[in-house]
Amino acid sequence: MFEKKFLEDLKNRKADWDRQAEKLRATKSRPKFITVSGEEIKELYTPEDIAGLDYEQKIGWPGVYPYTRGVHHTMYRSRYWTMRQFSGMGTPRQTNERYHYLLKNGQTGLSVAFDLPTLMGYDSDHTRSLGEVGKCGVAVDSLADMEIIFDGINLGEVSTSMTINAPASVLLAMYLGVAEKQGVPFNKLRGTLQNDILKEYIAQKEWIYPPEPSIRLITDMMAFCTEHVPQWNTISISGYHIREAGSTAAQELAFTLADGFCYIEAAIKDGQDVDAFAPRLSFFFNAHQDFFEEIAKYRAARRIFARRMKEKYKAKQERSWLLRFHTQTAGCSLTAQQPENNIMRTAFEGLSAVLGGTQSLHTNSMDETLALPSEKAVLIALRTQQIIAHETGVTNTIDPLAGSYFVEALTDKMEADAEAYLDEIEKRGGVLKGIEDGYFQREIANAAYRYQREIERKERIIVGINDYIMDDEKIDIPILKIDETVEKDQCAFVKKVRAGRDNDKVKRTLEELVTAAKGKGNTLAAMLECVRVYATEGEICDALKPVFGEYVEPPII
């Protein structure tokens, strides 16, 4: 990138500077200069650090292979990222009210948070659901609940993301059911399903069936959507939870990409054309506190993905090479102490996602280490994004940090570290083998422990946790409480639904689903028939358990 002569002169001048700086190095503001991931950072980056970098090959142009600078030619000058707050709590009606509130205040997409029973495929009145109904998100048992959640919201006009994995097909089927009731054709529907089961085994741990049948459900869905729901992003391959579980940035990047390639290989093996499904794969990353490390991660992610899609999987369409991603700021970076400080943390994290070229963003609310967000907290979080978009000026130009000696060197390092992990995973026999052996789980747990020890040794200062502590602190923000009546109401509602439907039809459609699952039928198409007659989520998931089996994780510590 630089003339040889220039670099030689630079070396000499750097040596001069180095001699002068040496005298001052005895004084240190902190014991170690490391990223959140524990990576050592140099005191200074210069043209030497990017001397070998070929602009066209490594950095290039926005919207042009290898997309280091972004997936669109014009990025935020044409359209801001989608401001999408992950949200859901209590009953479907309460959640519907929250959605109307967010849309009224300028949110541009919906993102549904389901409660744990829904995520695990249990109805609200199942014994396992006791105490969990409506707590971490909204409770959904049948199409009747989804009709309420989207009441007064035209599914042809909004894009909806649903964080659901093991029972993702069931919830997509219900969403399709609502669209039918609203008279919106499937090809008008826009949105994303998380549907990333591999990271469940690795990090988030909400599974039902073992990996192989779970991947079958996913490839069925991909095939169904290619034909009927062409604008729907079928999988959001997620690093977010891997990072929240304690991984480093490079692990998040590598494990997520490895999962993505595993789905791609499964669909190719299923006989699907890579260019038919790849354009609808999307990614989901974490935005942690280390500003530049995160930006480097997003830039490296695009480059690695584009290269593999083109060279390894032989995708021919440019749209298949694009790594598009959603970002959520790091829940694990927030503190329960002095929770108002979380507003600042989230703002910096959101800014890194924007500088990294995200397609959509969720900014956490300040109270999320204490409870689900209050209306006040979620509004500040949304306003944070609007301030980044409209006031900071960072959206005036595309990829403004490109060419920074530090950012380019860090992007290269991130790419190399992730590639090394990808090689290691391959050497160990691939993603499924790694899950089975507990490789990912152990790597993440070790990183989490190292991070905790750094905090306890004060090698890493977290404001309000191990320094700047306020004695006798009183929490002075409103805290949302999910009323215990939610569980009772929801249990009564699902019982009413079961009593009021045609149970012969339910039985027949469930049997047809089992037949499809045992054979080669499309399971999503069969589930659509089940939800239309108000079969519940628990009934549908249970019907498949004898066919697919259930997953049990060996305890790994």
Partner 1 sequence: MSEKIRVLLAKPGLDGHDRGIKVIATAFRDAGFEVIYTGLRQTPEMIVNAAIQEDVDAVGVSILSGAHMTLFPAIKRLLVDRKAGHIILFGGGIIPEEDVKALEAQGIDKLFTPGATTEETVAFVRKAVAGRKDNEKIM
Rounded to 10 degrees, the C-alpha dihedral 263/269/271/276 comes to 30
Closer to partner 1 by Cβ: residue 42 or 128: 128
What's the CA gap between 98 and 96, in Å, rounded? 5
In angstroms, give the least distance from the CB of 251 to partner 1: 13
Q: Which DSSP string corresponds to 461-484?
A: --BTTTBSPPTT----S------T
Shorter beta-carbon distance to partner 1: residue 59 or 162: 162
**Pairing outcome for strands 281-287 and 325-329:** parallel
Cβ closest to partner 1, residue 271 vs residue 555: 555
Q: Which residues bind partner 1 (CB under 8 A)?
A: 116-117, 119-120, 122, 128-132, 135-136, 200, 204-206, 244-246, 332, 335-337, 369-372, 444-445, 448-449, 452, 455-456, 464-465, 475, 479, 482, 553-555, 557
Q: Which is nearer to partner 1, 200 or 415 (CB)?
A: 200
Give the Cα separation of 539 and 535 in Å (integer): 6
CB of 556 to partner 1, least distance (A): 8
CB of 135 to partner 1, least distance (A): 4
d(CA 107, CA 110) in angstroms, rounded, equals 8
The CB-of-478 to partner 1 minimum distance in angstroms stands at 12
Q: Are 113 and 136 in contact (CB under 8 A)?
A: yes
List of E strands, 187-252: 190-193, 232-233, 235-238
For the chain, state the CA radius of gyration.
24
Q: Kindly tell me which of 153 and 332 has the beta carbon lying closer to partner 1.
A: 332
Q: Which is nearer to partner 1, 26 or 470 (CB)?
A: 470
Kindly state the smallest distance separating residue 470's Cβ from partner 1, in Å.
Answer: 12
Which is nearer to partner 1, 219 or 441 (by Cβ)? 441
Contact call for residues 111 and 163 (beta carbons, < 8 A) = yes
- CB 227, CB 280: distance < 8 Å: no
Smallest distance from partner 1 to CB 256, Å:
17
Nearer to partner 1, 119 or 378 (CB): 119
Report, in Å, the least distance between residue 460 CB and partner 1.
13
Whose Cβ is closer to partner 1: residue 57's or residue 452's? 452
Task: Please report how close the Cβ of residue 336 comes to partner 1 at its closest, in angstroms.
Answer: 4
The answer to whether the beta carbons of residues 366 and 381 sit under 8 Å apart is yes
- How far are the Cα atoms of 35, 61, 77 from residue 69, in angstroms, in the given order? 23, 6, 14
Query: What tokens does 100 get?
Result: 């109307």
CA atoms within 13 A on the CB side of 268: 14
Beta-bridge mates of residue 193: 162
Shortest reach from residue 332's CB to partner 1, in Å? 7
Residue 460, CB half-sphere, CA atoms under 13 Å: how many?
A: 18
Considering the complex, state which of residue 452 and residue 503 has its C-beta at the smaller distance from partner 1.
Answer: 452
Name the minimum Å distance from CB 224 to partner 1: 28
Output 222 or 381, the one with its CB closest to partner 1: 381
Residue 173 contacts residue 531 (beta carbons within 8 Å): yes
Which of 247, 310, 305, 254 minimizes the C-alpha distance to 281? 305
> d(Cα 129, Cα 105) in Å, to the nearest integer?
33
Closest contact distance (angstroms) between CB of 260 and partner 1 is 21
Q: Please give the helix or strand (H or E) that residue 327 lies within, else none.
A: strand 325-329
- Gap between the Cα atoms of 529 and 384, Å rounded: 42
Tokens for 388?
């980044």
